[in-house]
Amino acid sequence: MDVNHKRLKHLAVQTDAAFEEYKQNPASENHAQAYEDAKSALDHYMLQIRQSMLQISKNYK
């Protein structure tokens, strides 16, 4: 998998926006869940990137 900078940027922006909404409404379960979902999507994508990079480095050894 190639690193898709547009996807990474989209996920980062989405996570930041969800966090800002959550900061403005800390008692909102919906905002808390939206932030957790966005953070999870970003974490999952970052894991995919790391795994891809590890595989690429193994192929060059």
| Number of compact structural domains in the chain | 1
> Where are the alpha helices (H) located in the chain, listed in sequence order?
5-24, 29-59
Enter the tokens of residue 1: 């998998």
Per-residue pLDDT reduced to its tens digit, 2-61:
557 899 999 999 999 999 999 999 999 999 999 999 999 999 999 999 998 898 888 886
Enter the tokens of residue 49: 């990137």
Residue range(s) defining the domain that contains residue 31: 5-59
Its pTM stands at 0.83
